[in-house]
Amino acid sequence: MEKQQNIKQKLPDKFSNFSEWYQQLILRSGLADYSSVSGCIVYRPLAYAIWEKIMQEVDKRFKQLGIKNCYFPLFIPEKLFEKEAEHIAGFKPEVAWVTHAGDTKLAERLAVRPTSEAIMYASYSKWIRSWRDLPLKLNQWNNVVRWEFKHPVPFLRGREFLWNEGHNAYATEKEAMEDLWKILNIYKDVCENILALYGIVGKKTELEKFAGAVSSYAIEFLLPNGKAAQGPDAHFDGENFAKAYDICFLDQQQQKRYVQQITYAISTRMIGVMVAIHSDNHGLVLPPKVAPTKIVIIPIFDKQTKQNVLDYAKQVKSELVKLLSNSDSDAIIIDDREQYTPGYKFNEYELKGVPVRIEIGMRDIEQESVTVFRRDTLERFTIKLSQLSKIKELLDEIQKNLFEKAKQFLLSNVVTVNNIDELKQAIANKKMAKANFCCTKECEQNIAEQLEAITPRVIALDEKPNENDKCIFCGKKAQAVVYFARSY
């Protein structure tokens, strides 16, 4: 009984109380739970199934680019970790260290990986000898630990998260950059066409780029609370790590040269971004391509009608399985549990974000139809059994609708600002602000000190300032158009 009330209890309002709405949604939909370790969450089956889908989609695209999966140790010896100065400076404050084995103190501390450059590049240095060994394109699907002290938020900010970390080495910068753009496009494709999310692809500013990189690129998303969340990213490292870890090769002229490197990642943060953008006050809204269960069939019966209704439900299911040619056993389910009422089940699947619900009662059977409910718009209608193929179109339509809504949301919340006051006002109104910026490190440092949580998110790639445009902060010549926001 207690559980039934919990399902029916309303969520806080998404737009007026985002933070409480998000936290309760994560817990009550069964995506995740808190654990005994502060800042570390439990990924329950629903969240893990979504992550598996992201992994599959990214992984198959990576393989077409010749990227191979591998696995390196979780631990990094301190000496190795300290080789690249900027890298260690960027990560050291958040590293968790292993210092003991049982009661015995280790001769050398081991870092729990916050990222794997240090351990991987020690091997790259051994493996890469000649131009024939290049390119080397390796990826790991793993977990990393960053012992942050900022307020943890499930998926969006935590001490341990899951991701891919790709590390490629090339003979030339040209090849490295060509692949970097292909990889960013893979991430963009998965975000847009699988997760139904629209973000801004741009270049990171000096202070926001990856520790040790020459340049960083990322896809930035805007959440309904006005905060930006950095999605997948890719970094061009040039020779920075190659010099620190001695990764060199003999080129075709027998000249010794350093490799050119890129790294790239997509993490479980995307689950949080997706949930925050699509979901509503009834619960999760999952795009069909990512939802482990795409259709739930709920038979409505009493003792007399039970057999009839269940038979009909099974027939509908088997036709849908054929139509969708989906072999995944969870994709289409019949919920015939008798200990829960249909109303309870409706609420439950709305909370869990199942894209399409099909209700089947005696009236549907008599009319040779089914009652359909779509989760994204909350619309309910009937379709004839002979037109069941419309369900396939409906799933495509839901996928498309969610993407269009997400795109509209972002585009309608970007404001161009001409001075600092307008910038502050835009951010206070939960917008992302676009401004002319000089892109100097000094100016960026000043912003960080004066505007606290407002940071440059990305430099626009498709827009340049005019000849006479000035930086809105220092008045010097503007070098780029930059997106600003508060961020996670």
Among 119, 144, 273, 438, binds Zn ion (CB under 5 A): 438
What's the min distance (Å) between Cβ of 441 and Zn ion?
Answer: 10
Q: Are 220 and 483 in contact (CB under 8 A)?
A: yes
Please provide residue 187's backbone torsions phi and psi, each rounded to the nearest 5 degrees. Answer: -60, -45
Under rule CB under 5 A, residue 433 binds Zn ion:
no
Q: Residue 149 Cβ, how far from Zn ion at the closest point, in Å?
A: 30
CA distance linking residue 78 with residue 110, whole number of Å: 6
Asked if residue 439 binds Zn ion (CB under 5 A), the reply is no
User: Do you find a cis peptide bond into 12, omega within 30 degrees of 0?
Assistant: no
Span of 297-305, 356-364, 373-381, 469-477 interacting with Zn ion by CB under 5 A? 469-477
Give the three-class secondary structure for 130.
strand
Structure tokens at 299: 């038979």
Give the ranges where 144-256 is alpha helix by DSSP (H): 173-193, 240-245
Q: Is 473 a residue that touches Zn ion (CB under 5 A)?
A: yes
Q: Report residue 75 as tokens.
A: 């631990």
User: Which of 80, 200, 471, 485 is the binder for Zn ion (CB under 5 A)?
Assistant: 471
The CA distance from 69 to 375, in Å, is 36
Neighbours of 458 (CB within 10 A): 27
Is 262 an interacting residue with respect to Zn ion (CB under 5 A)? Answer: no
> Under the criterion CB under 5 A, does residue 373 sit at the interface with Zn ion?
no
Please, what is the minimum distance in Å from the beta carbon of residue 473 to Zn ion? 4
CB of 474 to Zn ion, least distance (A): 3
Site string for Zn ion, 441-460 (x = CB under 5 A): --x-----------------
Of 352, 396, 391, the C-alpha closest to 373 is: 391
Q: Is 484 in the site for Zn ion (CB under 5 A)?
A: no
Examine residue 290 and tell whether it contacts Zn ion (CB under 5 A).
no
**CB under 5 A: which stretch of 314-322, 390-398, 408-416, 432-440 binds Zn ion?**
432-440
Q: Does 420 bind Zn ion (CB under 5 A)?
A: no
Instruction: Give the residue with the Cβ less far from Zn ion, 96 or 474.
Output: 474
Using only the alpha carbons of the chain, give its radius of gyration: 25
- If the CB atoms of residues 120 and 472 are measured against Zn ion, the closer one turns out to be 472
Nearer to Zn ion, 380 or 464 (CB): 464
What is the Cα–Cα distance from 96 to 111, expressed in whole angstroms?
A: 6
Phi, psi of 487 (to 5 degrees): -140, 165
Query: Binding residues for Zn ion, how many (CB under 5 A)?
Result: 5
Tell me if 480 contacts Zn ion by CB under 5 A. Answer: no
Q: Strand 104-112: give its sheet, edge to edge.
A: 75-77, 104-112, 96-101
Q: Which residues bind Zn ion (CB under 5 A)?
A: 438, 443, 471, 473-474
